[in-house]
Amino acid sequence: MCGIFGVVAKKGDIAKKLLIIARRLQYRGYDSLGLATYLDGEIDLRKDMGTVESVVEALKLDNMKGNIGIGQLRWSTFGKPSKINAQPHFACDKDLVGAHNGNIVSFYQTKENLENEGHNIISQNDGEICVHAAEKHYNKTKDMVKGIMGGIKEMEGAFAFICFHKDTPETLYATKMGSSLVIGLGEGENYIASDLPSILPLTNKYVPLNDGEIIEITADTYKIYSAKDGSEIKRDPRVTDLSAEEAVKGKYDYFLTKEIYEQIEATEKLAYGLESDVLDELVDKLANADIAYLVGCGSSFNACNVGSYYLNNLAGVLSIPVIGGRFFEEFKNIKPTDKMVILNVSQSGETKDIINTINFAKPKGFHILGMINVPGSTVERMSEAYAYIGAGIERSVAATKTYTNQVLLFLILAARVGHKKGNISDKEFEELKNEIHNISKLVEKTINDSVDKAKQLAKELSKTDAMSLLGYGITHGVALEGALKIREINYISAEAMYSSEFKHGPLSIVEDGYPVIYIVAPEDKYYVTSHISEVECRDGRPIVIGENIKGLDKHVKPGDYFEIPKSSQLISPILAVIPLQLLALYMSIERGIDPDYPRNLSKTLTVD
Ligand code: M6R
């Protein structure tokens, strides 16, 4: 997703600071980069397609001078990736420069209106519309806050916008209208950026912003105004204890490889927080609920799929996994009761489909809860109670350790709620606790046992362009997650479904050697053996991921059985996803794809 940022400073190297933020936002957008600074009456705008480092080098961005500057990293939505569509953009008279993040859904209509009024719009990018709309109203009022206020009314969409004008070269302006944005406060300099972690090397003092606000900052002041009526809103700064630590690949070739291995440490840390009082509030809210909607997108939705099994079976809370974008369509006529909660699961805490759910459900009276990885995110701020999954920074676009910790946190919450409600005896809780505390060792063993097999299978499947992944009961979510990983970083078709469903149509795809991966939990042998046989007898290629289940190996050829360590039914889905992550990774490398940066994708999706 695009990232926008700006710095205004009394003195110092503006380019250096802008690039610190840009490098930390690069996970959001990679099609192009642009910076604009102001010096001695001139705006210097440089932008092009490419990675941060390639554009910095080609355009000498590190030489840019001035006391004020803005920048943008683009992930294309409106207009192809190209130099002309890169941001920031000038307004007609080149006195105003600005950039946006998000989507202007009224792009064609607003563009036509502005062109009819004489604006010269040169790109196909909706960010340019924001600049011209602000220019139109600035020219009438000679006031940038009013210029932005008027501009907002010309457009429909969800976005954040940042700009500065030659007339006020010591002031940065911005607005938050649905996309994330934060103010950072430094010593003799201030910042605006799409997220808090991007400014942490510069400051830990920040001011959170809400939708519908316009911001005006100088090197030592900040003001917030209502975008509705221009009235000033007072808000004190906060201090975060988040660290500025940045992820590095270290000895690994890819972030993805590193993050798969980091599951050992991530699960260990989370497991030992099982009884921590930081979870008390969330446990209480869930224990008090009759119905929990578990809302997530992509991998986070897949974690909800396993999570609902835990909450239904251990906690006795009726739990329904719902895809983020679907909640407000499907449940729009449900009247919330005090015993209904929505648990929003999002690594970033910024995914637009999740924010849409909250914006729809909160005013209706639903209780909003959150499970997030990035502290200080929008989901955190909009939730009555929340918990961190504590997976650390995840850089690879493909989620691995965050997915695993989401599932583990679901298990911990379900165990705590079940114990609190008396659904689980003290003895059962103790046993489960011991298993959870032991999980990182099993994760480590699963990784070590699976690497070579995954490499070998990746070679064999390197020409395959379709496969199926089947899960049953508790492992259905694992099949969904495995298929998403394989599709996401291999650009092939990998279809996941409930294993008993396969015979109801999809079975017709099976021919000689067609790969079907079964994820089998220990107690599901009875049904799954039949499902495997149905493929085996049609000359398909069943591949099994599961613990050593007597007799199951007879149905697959040697090498096609990924044996995971022995554990209980509840732990097995957490282990079973690992061979699939490794398979996706090595298949991707076999195909010559960089698994960290799959084409067309962005780590955080802040658009509809
Ligand atoms: O930040 P979120 O957890 O809300 O992100 C949701 C999805 O966009 C994300 O899980 C996506 O599916 C991953 N790239 C999958 O690997």
Is the pLDDT confidence value at 59 over 90? yes
Report which of 284, 306, 256, 273 is spatially closest to residue 388, judged by C-alpha positions. Answer: 273
Q: Verify whether residue 603 is a known catalytic residue.
A: yes
Q: Which residues fall within 8 angstroms of residue 243, CB to CB, at 6 or more apart?
A: 200
For range 2-11, the mean pLDDT: 95
Of the residues 27, 254, 300, which should be mutated to test ligand 1's pocket, given the most ligand atoms within 8 Å of the CB?
300
Check if 351 has its Cβ closer than 6 Å to any atom of ligand 1: yes
Check if 347 has its Cβ closer than 6 Å to any atom of ligand 1: yes
Nearest ligand 1 atom to the CA of 397 is: 14
Q: What is the pLDDT of residues 196-247, one digit of tens each?
A: 889 999 999 999 999 999 999 999 999 999 999 999 999 999 998 777 777 7
Give the integer Cα–Cα distance in Å for 312 and 306.
10
Q: What is the pLDDT of residues 19-41, one digit of tens each?
A: 999 999 987 767 899 999 999 99
Check if 606 has its Cβ closer than 6 Å to any atom of ligand 1: no
Nearest ligand 1 atom to the CA of 400 is: 16
Share of the chain above pLDDT 90, in %: 88
pLDDT reported for residue 390:
94
What is the H or E stretch that residue 158 is in? strand 157-165
For range 290-317, the mean pLDDT: 98
Nearest-CA residue for atom 14 of ligand 1: 398
Give the integer Cα–Cα distance in Å for 149 and 138.
9
302 alpha carbon – ligand 1 mean position (Å): 10
pLDDT reported for residue 240:
86
Check if 399 has its Cβ closer than 6 Å to any atom of ligand 1: yes
Q: What is the pLDDT of residues 516-545, one digit of tens each?
A: 999 999 899 888 899 999 999 999 999 999
Check if 377 has its Cβ closer than 6 Å to any atom of ligand 1: no
Q: Verify whether residue 2 is a known catalytic residue.
A: yes
Check if 297 has its Cβ closer than 6 Å to any atom of ligand 1: yes
Give the integer Cα–Cα distance in Å for 560 and 540.
12
Task: Please tell me the number of Cα atoms within 13 Å of 320 on its side-chain side.
Answer: 14
Nearest ligand 1 atom to the CA of 354 is: 4
Q: How far is CA 324 from the centre of its chain?
A: 12
Nearest-CA residue for atom 4 of ligand 1: 346
